[in-house]
Structure formats: structure tokens, C-alpha cells
């Protein structure tokens, strides 16, 4: 029983965070798979369009709606799952459109969907991914009855973007400045340049110089159109915030062992703590295990050319293992008090169901790599 296996049986929501390329999507899928096999109805909501992951779960493709992973896909595991596994892939544009269709006043829907600002906000532009992932999580958590939802987060450049997504919305809606700017226009029921002369014409003129007048007008038009939705945005943003802080929610911080990730891990860990969010575990993925001492002895019996090749390989593996051990020791030091779980680098990449299952054994502590401290105490040989 380790921290993650406990979380898998007790938490309702697990959020996997970490920088890009560390294997968040795989870890998310593995957690949901394990939980389902152990008897809880689970959902993994991924962000990366990883077709191989979909295939490994027996699905042709992952879409924006939840699909049940067919029991046949889990047969190779040799165990009979006691719960059901669902998977979906977050489609940003579709989720935005659904939101508008659901919450906007009927007479405003078409207008919003056709607005240029809305279209770029919902599809092409940066910064809305984190927010929409939060909206989806809220919907899944409140409208469905999964016992566990595992959310894979967008590969955010900055931890802050993600954690602040609900805050940003609340901040926006509650901001006095925006009200001051919009209220007279809202009361007048029309929008136009007059809006900006209501405030300070000097300020408005200067912004116009920067962005162009028409841009401001269109933006104001968009804000007017979504204004009736503010209350529901606000309500859900608060809900998301509470959800993230809830005891039933846990964060899994995924990283690779390299030292170049240390700053990011430190940053994520500190931010989560500051925000009163529970970090269940730090998962260090793709760790190179130290080759056993016995292998060096065994290699001595080979003919010289072959022995040289094997020893070269062992030396390289040793160096990688040592590097990883140093990185892990540093991660452990900065994430003091948070359980650290290592997953080894497998010979080949993890994208079939068997490999996910093997990964799960390490995640929940059925198998474990020796701690880096144990490694560094045994002197390595050249």
C-alpha cells in the first residue's frame, strides 16, 4: 500500500500535472486503468491526441465524449476487471461551443458563436486550454457519477496558468474595472465608441492607438454578448476552485528524473502547496535502474570483443542510473514530505495495454526501484 494506491481507492478526482514530454498522458491512463481493474468506475480524460494510447485501450480514436473501454481490450491483462474504464480526449473547440450552447441566452447564441473574438478564443488562440480543461472537469464531476476521474492536464508552460484558470475567470468577472467600463453600456443596452468616452476618453484613445478602435469596439461587443453568462461562469469557476481544494481531490506531479526538470518540479510543488492543493505523490517517470553488480562479473566470461561491447553498455547504463539517482535525490529534497514514486524506463515505449499494466505495478508499489540513497551509498565501478 503506497500513497498512490491509497489515493486510487479514496479520491474522486486525480489531476496529473507536470511539464511536457514527461509521460503525463500515460501515467493518467495507467491510474484510471488500475482503478477500474480494482473495482471503481473510472474515467481518464486526456489532452494529448495520442492515437496509440486510444488504440492500446481498444478504441479507434478518443473523442470529446466518454467511451467505455471494451472489456476485450483488457483481456491481455489476465485479470478480470471489477470496475469499468472510460476514456475521452478533450476537444477544446467542441467544449467551448457546448458551453455557449448550454449557458448563453438563446437569442445570443448565434451571435456569440459567430463573433470573431469568440472563434479565435475557442479554437486558435493560446491560453484558453487550461480554462476549458477546468470547465470539463467540473462538468464531469458534477454531472456524472464516476467513482474516479483522472484528468491529464495540458502541457502548460507554467504551472500557474493551470492553477489560476478559475481564478482568472473569477477575477475577470468580479473586477471593478470591467464593471466600471461596461456597466453604463449595459444599462444603455448598446455599445459603441460612446462606451469609452464614458470612462476616460484619453485612456480609450490611447488604447485605440495600440489596438485600433474597431478592435476595441468588437471586443466590447463580445463582452456584452457574454455578459448574461457571467453569473454561471462565476458559479462554475468557484465550484472548480472548491473542487481543486477538496479533500477528495489529489494532484499527481509527474516528472522525468533529469536535473533540467528540477526547477519546474520545485515550482509546481510550491504552487500546489501554496494553493492548499494536496500533492498525493511525485511520480518520477522513466528512471534508468542501476545494472546489477553480478552483470559485470558475468561479462568477464565473454570473449574480449563481446565483453567490451557489453561493458561499454553497462558503463553507459550506470552513468544514466547515477545521473537519475542524483536528480531524484534533489527532487526528493525539494518535495520534502511528499511521497516519491519511481517508474523505470522500460525497454520499449509504453503504448500497449500490457505496458500500461506493468507501469501500474510500480505506481501502486507492487514493484519498486531501490531508493537513490541506496544507490549512491554503493560505490559504482568503472
Partner 1 sequence: MAGLLDKRLWIVSGKGGVGKSTIAAALALRSARAGRRTLVCEVNTQERISRLLGHQPVGPQVTKLEDNLWAVDVRPQEAMREYALMVLRFETLYKTVFENKVVRYFLRFIPSLQELVLLGKILFHAQEKRPDGQPLWDSIVMDAPATGHAITFLRVPQVLLQTLPPGPMTREAMKMRDILEDPATTAAVLVSLPEEMPVNETLELHSALRDQVRVRTHAAVLNAAFPERFTEDDLETLVDHPELLRVARAHHDRAAQTVLAEMKLERNLHVPVYQVPRIFTPGFGREAIEQVMGHLEPLVTGKAET
Under rule CB under 8 A, which residues in 88-127 are in contact with partner 1? 116-117, 119-121, 124-127
Smallest gap, in angstroms, from Cβ of residue 216 to partner 1? Answer: 8
- Restricted to residues 350-379, the positions that interact with partner 1 (CB under 8 A) are 351
Q: Examine residue 210 and tell whether it contacts partner 1 (CB under 8 A).
A: yes
Smallest gap, in angstroms, from Cβ of residue 217 to partner 1? Answer: 9
Residue ranges in the chain assigned as alpha helix (H) = 3-10, 24-37, 51-56, 71-74, 92-103, 106-114, 116-119, 129-143, 159-163, 165-174, 176-188, 193-198, 201-211, 213-226, 230-245, 262-274, 293-299, 304-334, 353-363, 372-377
Q: Examine residue 299 and tell whether it contacts partner 1 (CB under 8 A).
A: yes
Q: Examine residue 174 and tell whether it contacts partner 1 (CB under 8 A).
A: no
Residue placing its CB nearer to partner 1 in the complex, 247 or 347: 347
What interhelical angle do 176-188 and 213-226 show, nearest 10? 80
Count Cβ atoms within 10 A of the Cβ of residue 215 and give its class: 0-12 exposed, 13-18 middle, 19 or more buried. middle
**Strands 13-17, 249-255: parallel, antiparallel or unpaired by DSSP?**
parallel
**Strands 148-152, 13-17: parallel, antiparallel or unpaired by DSSP?**
parallel
According to DSSP, the residues that pair with 98 across neighbouring strands are: none
Among 1, 60, 177, 382, the residue binding partner 1 under the rule CB under 8 A is 177
The C-alpha cell at 146 is 464516476
Residue placing its CB nearer to partner 1 in the complex, 248 or 293: 293
Binding mask 303-332 for partner 1 (x = CB under 8 A): ---x--xx-xxxxxx-xx-xx---------
d(CA 351, CA 371): 26
What's the length of the chain? 382
Smallest gap, in angstroms, from Cβ of residue 349 to partner 1? Answer: 5
Q: Examine residue 206 and tell whether it contacts partner 1 (CB under 8 A).
A: yes
d(CA 192, CA 190): 7
Q: Examine residue 263 and tell whether it contacts partner 1 (CB under 8 A).
A: yes
Among 199, 221, 239, 365, the residue binding partner 1 under the rule CB under 8 A is 199
Please identify, among the stretches 6-14, 246-254, 255-263, 330-338, the one whose residues bind partner 1 according to the rule CB under 8 A: 255-263
Please identify, among the stretches 218-226, 227-235, 239-247, 268-276, the one whose residues bind partner 1 according to the rule CB under 8 A: 218-226
Binding mask 334-353 for partner 1 (x = CB under 8 A): -------------xxx-x--
The C-alpha cell at 96 is 467551448
d(CA 45, CA 18): 15
Among 20, 76, 105, 370, the residue binding partner 1 under the rule CB under 8 A is 20
Count Cβ atoms within 10 A of the Cβ of residue 310 and give its class: 0-12 exposed, 13-18 middle, 19 or more buried. middle
Among 61, 157, 373, 374, the residue binding partner 1 under the rule CB under 8 A is 157
Residue placing its CB nearer to partner 1 in the complex, 79 or 203: 203
Amino acid at each position: 500500500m503506497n500513497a498512490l494506491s491509497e489515493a486510487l481507492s479514496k479520491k474522486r478526482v486525480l489531476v496529473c500535472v507536470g511539464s511536457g514530454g514527461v509521460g503525463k498522458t500515460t501515467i493518467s491512463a495507467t491510474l484510471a486503468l488500475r482503478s477500474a481493474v480494482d473495482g471503481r468506475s473510472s474515467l481518464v480524460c486526456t489532452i494529448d491526441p495520442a492515437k496509440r494510447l486510444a488504440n492500446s485501450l481498444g478504441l479507434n480514436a478518443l473523442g470529446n465524449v466518454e467511451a467505455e473501454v471494451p472489456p476485450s481490450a483488457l483481456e491481455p491483462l489476465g485479470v478480470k476487471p471489477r470496475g469499468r474504464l472510460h476514456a475521452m480526449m478533450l476537444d477544446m473547440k467542441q467544449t467551448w461551443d457546448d458551453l455557449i450552447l448550454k449557458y448563453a441566452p438563446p437569442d445570443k447564441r448565434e451571435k456569440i458563436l459567430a463573433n470573431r473574438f469568440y472563434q479565435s478564443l475557442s479554437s486558435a488562440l493560446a491560453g484558453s486550454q487550461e480554462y476549458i480543461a477546468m470547465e470539463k472537469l467540473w462538468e464531469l464531476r458534477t454531472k456524472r457519477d464516476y467513482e474516479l476521474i483522472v484528468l491529464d492536464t495540458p502541457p502548460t508552460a507554467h504551472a500557474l496558468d493551470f492553477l489560476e484558470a478559475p481564478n482568472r475567470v473569477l477575477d475577470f468577472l468580479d473586477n471593478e474595472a470591467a464593471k466600471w467600463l461596461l456597466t453604463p453600456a449595459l444599462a444603455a443596452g448598446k455599445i459603441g465608441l460612446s462606451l469609452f468616452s464614458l470612462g476616460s476618453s484619453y485612456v480609450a484613445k490611447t488604447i485605440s492607438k495600440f489596438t485600433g478602435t474597431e478592435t476595441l469596439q468588437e471586443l466590447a461587443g463580445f463582452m456584452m454578448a457574454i455578459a448574461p453568462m457571467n453569473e454561471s461562469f462565476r458559479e462554475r469557476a468557484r465550484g472548480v476552485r472548491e473542487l481543486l481544494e477538496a479533500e477528495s481531490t489529489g494532484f499527481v506531479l509527474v516528472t522525468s528524473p533529469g536535473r533540467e526538470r528540477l526547477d519546474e518540479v520545485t515550482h509546481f510543488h510550491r504552487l500546489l502547496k501554496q494553493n492548499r492543493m494536496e500533492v498525493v505523490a511525485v511520480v518520477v517517470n522513466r528512471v534508468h535502474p542501476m545494472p546489477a553488480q553480478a552483470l559485470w562479473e558475468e561479462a568477464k566470461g565473454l570473449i574480449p570483443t563481446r565483453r567490451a561491447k557489453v561493458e561499454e553498455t553497462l558503463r553507459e547504463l550506470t552513468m544514466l542510473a547515477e545521473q537519475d539517482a542524483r536528480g531524484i535525490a534533489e527532487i526528493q529534497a525539494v518535495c520534502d514530505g511528499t511521497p516519491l514514486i519511481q517508474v523505470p524506463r522500460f525497454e520499449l515505449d509504453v503504448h500497449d495495454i500490457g505496458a500500461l499494466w506493468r507501469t501500474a505495478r510500480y505506481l501502486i508499489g507492487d514493484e519498486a526501484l531501490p531508493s537513490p540513497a541506496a544507490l549512491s551509498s554503493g560505490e559504482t565501478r568503472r
